C-alpha cells in the first residue's frame, strides 16, 4: 500500500461522528439479522426498526426463508430486502448455489449477498471460484442486486484482496463486500481502501455503478464515519449513496439513533 493511501487511512481513523455522518450511515445501512435462532417475530421487529422519523435504512438482510415476510412488512417503505447465498462458508458447490439463488429470486429477494468460494480462490483455483459468481449473476438477472462477499480476513493478502475485488466485479458483482461476520476478523479501513481503489479502477471498464459494503464489526457512527471519509476521498464527495455504499450491520442503528436523538 502506497504512502498516500496509508496517510489517508490514518486520517480516516481520526474522523469522529456528527449528525451528518449519522444520517449518511442510516440511509446506507443493511440492517441485518442472520441468527440461527431467528423467528418470524425477530424479523418483524427488525423490519419495524428499519424505518425511523429521520429516514429509513437501505435494506434489511435476512435468511431466505424470511424474505416473503420481510417483503410484506416493508411494503411501501422504500426499504429493500436482501438475503444471503452460499453462506457463510463459501462452499465450492456451484449447482447448489445456483439452485439456492434461483429460489431466493423466485421468493422476491431484491438483493443477494453471495459468498465467494474464498478458500478455493486463495488456493489458486480461481476460475472455479469465479465461475460460481458468474452463474449466480445470471440467475439474478438485471434487476436483482448482487453483492459478493470476499471474506477478506481469510484472503489476508492485500494483493489477493485487490485481485479478488476485480475478479468479482468482472463476474458481475454490483457490490463487493468485506465479510460474512461469521469468522474472526471483519471490515477494516485498510481493506476498504484496497477495495475502493478496485471499484474506482473497474467502474469505467464495466460501465455500470459499483459499490462497496463494509461488513463485520461496524457498531458505531465513529467507525462508519471513517469508511464514509475514505469513500469521499477515494471516489469523490458525491459518490457514496445507498446505491454505492452499504454498511452490513446489526448494532450500528442503535448508535445512529443516539446521535440523531431518536
Q: Say whether pLDDT at 1 is over 80.
A: no
Q: Quick one: average pLDDT of 179-184?
A: 94
Q: Quick one: average pLDDT of 160-164?
A: 98
Average pLDDT along the chain: 97
Task: Please name the fold of domain 3-259.
Answer: TIM Barrel (3.20.20)
Q: Quick one: average pLDDT of 181-208?
A: 96
Query: What percentage of the chain exceeds 70 in pLDDT?
Result: 100
Banded model confidence at residue 140, pLDDT cuts 50, 70, 90 = very high
Q: Say whether pLDDT at 252 is over 80.
A: yes
Domain boundaries, the chain: 3-259
Q: Say whether pLDDT at 161 is over 90.
A: yes
Q: Quick one: average pLDDT of 49-57?
A: 98
Residues with catalytic roles: 113, 177, 213
Banded model confidence at residue 79, pLDDT cuts 50, 70, 90 = very high
The pLDDT score that the predictor gives to residue 40 is: 98
The string of DSSP codes covering the chain is --HHHHHHHHHHHH----HHHHHHHHHTEEEEE--TT--HHHHHHHHHHTEETTEE-SEEEE-GGGHHHHHHHHTTS--EEEEEESTTT--S-HHHHHHHHHHHHHTT-SEEEEE--HHHHHTT-HHHHHHHHHHHHHHHTTTSEEEEE--HHHH--HHHHHHHHHHHHHTT-SEEE---SSSS----HHHHHHHHHHHHHHHHHHTS--EEE-BSS--SHHHHHHHHHHHHHHH-TTT-STTTB-EEESSHHHHHHHHTT-
The pLDDT score that the predictor gives to residue 2 is: 86
Q: Please state the φ and ψ torsions of residue 110, each to the nearest 5 degrees.
A: -95, -15
Q: Say whether pLDDT at 199 is over 80.
A: yes
pTM above 0.95, yes or no: yes
Banded model confidence at residue 118, pLDDT cuts 50, 70, 90 = very high
Amino acid at each position: 500500500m502506497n504512502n498516500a493511501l496509508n496517510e489517508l487511512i490514518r486520517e480516516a481513523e481520526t474522523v469522529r461522528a456528527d449528525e451528518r455522518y449519522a444520517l449518511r450511515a442510516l440511509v446506507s445501512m443493511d440492517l441485518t439479522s442472520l441468527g440461527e435462532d431467528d423467528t418470524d417475530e425477530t424479523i418483524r421487529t427488525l423490519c419495524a426498526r428499519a424505518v425511523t422519523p429521520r429516514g429509513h435504512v437501505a435494506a434489511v438482510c435476512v435468511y431466505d426463508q424470511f424474505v416473503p415476510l420481510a417483503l410484506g412488512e416493508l411494503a411501501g417503505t422504500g426499504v429493500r430486502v436482501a438475503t444471503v447465498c452460499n453462506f457463510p462458508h463459501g462452499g465450492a458447490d456451484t449447482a447448489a448455489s445456483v439452485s439456492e439463488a434461483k429460489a431466493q429470486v423466485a421468493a422476491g429477494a431484491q438483493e443477494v449477498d453471495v459468498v465467494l468460494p474464498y478458500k478455493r480462490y486463495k488456493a489458486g483455483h480461481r476460475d472455479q471460484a469465479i465461475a460460481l459468481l458468474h452463474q449466480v449473476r445470471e440467475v439474478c438477472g438485471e434487476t436483482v442486486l448482487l453483492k459478493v462477499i470476499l471474506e477478506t480476513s481469510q484472503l489476508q493478502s492485500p494483493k489477493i484482496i485487490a485481485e479478488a475485488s476485480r475478479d468479482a466485479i468482472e463476474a458481475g458483482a454490483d457490490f463487493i463486500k468485506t465479510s460474512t461476520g461469521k469468522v474472526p476478523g471483519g471490515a477494516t479501513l485498510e481493506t476498504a481502501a484496497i477495495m475502493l481503489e478496485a471499484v474506482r479502477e473497474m467502474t469505467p471498464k464495466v460501465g455500470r455503478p459499483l459499490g462497496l459494503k463494509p461488513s463485520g464489526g461496524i457498531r458505531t457512527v465513529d467507525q462508519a464515519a471513517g469508511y464514509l471519509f475514505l469513500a469521499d476521498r477515494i471516489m469523490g464527495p458525491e459518490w457514496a449513496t445507498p446505491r454505492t455504499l452499504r454498511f452490513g450491520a446489526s448494532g450500528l442503528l442503535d448508535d445512529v439513533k443516539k446521535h440523531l436523538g431518536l
